[in-house]
Structure 1
Amino acid sequence: MRVERQVLGHQRRRESGRPFWSTRPFGFERDGTHREEEAEALRQAYRDVLAGVSLWSIAKDWNARELLSPHGKEWRSSNLRGVLLKPRNAGIQTYSQWVEKPDGRRVRETEETGTGNWEPIVSEGMFRALARYLSDPERNTGGGGKRKALLSGVVRCSKCQAVVTQGWSRKDAAGERYRIYTCSGGRCITCPADPLDAYVVRQVISRAEEWNQAPATDAADEEREAELLAEEVATSERRTALAEMFAVGDIDASTMRAGIGRCDADLGKIRTELADLAAKRVRVDLGDVEYLWEELDYEDPDRIDYVRTVVMQVCERVELLPRGRGVRGFKSDHCRITFRNP
């Protein structure tokens, strides 16, 4: 009887949409209201991750600000990732239970059960976009191998279209060497690295006003998002109805599985499009880029990665042009930049 009462209690809580958290989650109070400093940190983290900032950098920043977990522990990439992937941040209610697998293992499975009655910290679209990004199998999460050259792999040779990589010049009369970018295809072109870095970043910063004034989405996007959210609710309800019909014997198992399979496929398409719409809203703060550029430290690969991400987002193509015979320095006409539309 006690177990039945517990099951019934859980069911009623799910139906009511009330928050039921055994411990206070990061960003929230136990009653579902926001703990504003933490909630704002979460909002910024979603924007930063989608803009290319590493989880390690965000964890390091939170620890420096003494913005610790509800248990008083410091952040690492792993536990930060777990918090960002919590559906509750988008106002989505979940239900977890232990399930025994055919091989005898017991695993804890969590499913989304609907919309909670607490105020979300981020939109569902933003949450889906981040979940999709963090689960991308092609995303490189390794700590090693980060480029220490800002434009290595970004700039292309105008002659052979190969990417440029960092190298070092021969010693000059003073016995010193300096960084250069060299075409990886056949050393078609070389260029001093520092002035090229400075020129490209300054051109990106000069686009700040245009990018900041550009609307993140238009009316058509907003209408489409509303349509998709309505479709998602309807499809989720249809999926639940199929399970209920099977439970009371109105349909057989094969019909239920086929119907749920179609619903899951539809939900996947809907959530992918919602994620794409949310990703369009992400705007990189070019003011941060200017600060990072002024304080750029080539021993801090995360800063370099962030500035490189912004360059790649703002620039569609950056090409290095021949400097001409006997020309040793760098001039602006040695680089051709094609900007993306904001």
Structure 2
Amino acid sequence: MPEEIYRSAVRVLNSPARKTGGGGPRRSLLTGVATCANCGGPIRTAWRGRKGEQGSYAVYECKLKHCVSHRQDEADTMVSERVIRFLTAPQFAEAFEQSEDDLPVQQMRDELGSLRSRLDDLATDYAAGLVTRSQFLTASQTMRSRVDELEDQLSQLGSDSAVKGVTGMTDEQVRRHWDGLDVDRRRSLILAVVVSCRLRQKGRGVRRTDERHVDVLFRAGDPAKVASI
């Protein structure tokens, strides 16, 4: 498995939003993706009424303080529409226009491998008494900082590859592509292009979820910048 794909997977699996408790496959689009806009807590799936009975329906709710509650189908629709619009927007083309082949991926892999070898050698030299503790700490801190930087860059490239096939599609093509994806693949695509997804409180007397209640920030060009669609 290429280093950048591995790092991207590690980043997704270690994301705090995914640590919602429990095991097994996720069956809802936004679990592990959305968070509560009020307290920052993770979002979980619950039911209004007994599951399977007529009139019951699934909701997303704040796991920590029950700050928010939204019908699952309505929230899924809001986020899906935002993602589809982003995938056909100029910001998307700017964010993902560079292909993986145009980037110095192999150089980064080589440098990362060299740094890891040097860290191993440094640890061996320290154990053998060939370098002082101060020398060991100074050198290892510098190299580990660069390792972290390279791993972040490779992780970002792995996320880019997840959406490579969507670049240049028309709105109709993107919608057909989205409709053909299962929940897990849709969630993976969301994680590749979304910086954050937050569900807001609806307010007293408001029943339906609409775009006012869903904040989605997307990656746009420079990784330090985001876009709201």
Gap change, CA 1:185 and 1:289, over 3 Å in 2: farther
Residue 79 (structure 2) pairs with residue 192 (structure 1):
no
Aligned to 2:213: 334
Residue 28 (structure 2) pairs with residue 149 (structure 1):
yes
Deviation at 1:188, TM superposition (A): 2.1
Structure 2 CA distance for aligned equivalents of residues 186 and 268 of structure 1: 38
Deviation at 1:184, TM superposition (A): 1.1
Deviation at 1:325, TM superposition (A): 1.8
Aligned to 2:121: none
Q: Secondary structure at the match of 1:207?
A: helix
Residue 7 (structure 2) pairs with residue 128 (structure 1):
no
Tell me which structure has the larger Cα radius of gyration.
Answer: 1
Is the 2:5–2:154 Cα contact (8 Å) retained in structure 1? Answer: no
The one of the two structures with greater contact order (alpha-carbon pairs below 8 A, sep at least 6) is 2
Is the 1:128–1:271 Cα contact (8 Å) retained in structure 2? Answer: no
Residue 179 (structure 2) pairs with residue 294 (structure 1):
yes
Structure 2 CA distance for aligned equivalents of residues 231 and 317 of structure 1: 31
Structure 2 CA distance for aligned equivalents of residues 232 and 314 of structure 1: 25
Gap change, CA 1:278 and 1:169, over 3 Å in 2: same
Gap change, CA 1:178 and 1:131, over 3 Å in 2: closer
Question: For 1:176-191, what aligned pairs fall within 5 Å after superposition?
Answer: 176-191=55-70
Q: Secondary structure at the match of 2:215?
A: strand
- Give structure 2 stretches of 5+ with no counterpart: 119-124, 222-229
Deviation at 1:272, TM superposition (A): 6.6
Is the 1:314–1:340 Cα contact (8 Å) retained in structure 2? Answer: yes
Query: Normalized against structure 1, the TM-score is what?
Result: 0.41
Q: CA RMSD in A?
A: 4.5
Aligned to 1:212: 93
- Give structure 1 stretches of 5+ with no counterpart: 1-83, 85-126, 240-253, 297-302
Deviation at 1:170, TM superposition (A): 2.9
Q: Which amino acid aligns with 1:304?
A: V
Is the 1:225–1:274 Cα contact (8 Å) retained in structure 2? Answer: no
Query: Normalized against structure 2, the TM-score is what?
Result: 0.58
Structure 1 CA distance for aligned equivalents of residues 112 and 43 of structure 2: 45
Structure 1 CA distance for aligned equivalents of residues 67 and 112 of structure 2: 53
Deviation at 1:166, TM superposition (A): 1.0
Is the 1:289–1:307 Cα contact (8 Å) retained in structure 2? Answer: no
Q: Which amino acid aligns with 1:306?
A: R
Q: Which amino acid aligns with 2:179?
A: E
